[in-house]
Amino acid sequence: MYKVLAATREDMNEGWVWLSQHDFAPRSVVKIRNKSNKKVVYCEALKIDDNFVKEYNQSPRMNINNGDSTVVINGWYRNRLGGIDTKQHHDLEISEANGFCGKFRASVGHPQIVVRLATWLAVISAALGVLGVCLAFK
């Protein structure tokens, strides 16, 4: 169970979440699955450190406590996980997904349209390149 808190204004359009307790490599791509409805998001994970806690724990926000399993997540990802509420505990499963598929899914599910568009344009370009090579050898 993770206590879900809202992202700050600076993080509301970013493709990452902040996690309090994890053993992932720095800036890993993670898969977050909402166990209640099986919805999944892929994004980058940053570790909640003392500097983040000091900045985040400003009134009127809910404080992050050191012993809690906390995830600070923006509205884009909360909606994609089924509209989960903040300031509540949710049954989330968070696992590392640093492979190609995880990075691709993080890019096509990114909050910023420019990242999603660039990813799909790259896929289309690669497919057209392969098609061009195949047609050249015919």
Whole-number pLDDT of residue 59: 83
Question: pLDDT tens, 16-49?
Answer: 999 998 889 999 999 999 999 999 999 999 999 9
Domain that includes residue 48, residue range: 2-136
- Please confirm whether the linkage preceding 26 is cis (ω < 30° from 0): no
If one counts the domains in the chain, the total is 1
Whole-number pLDDT of residue 67: 75
Spatial strand order of the sheet with 16-19 comes to 88-90, 2-6, 70-73, 16-19, 40-47, 29-34, 92-96
CATH of the domain at 76: 2.40.40.50
Question: pLDDT tens, 89-117?
Answer: 999 999 999 999 999 999 999 999 999 99
Whole-number pLDDT of residue 41: 98
Helix (H) or strand (E) holding 17: strand 16-19
Nearest to 78 by CA among 17, 138, 134: 17
Q: For residues 61 and 57, what is the distance between their CA atoms, to the nearest angstrom?
A: 6
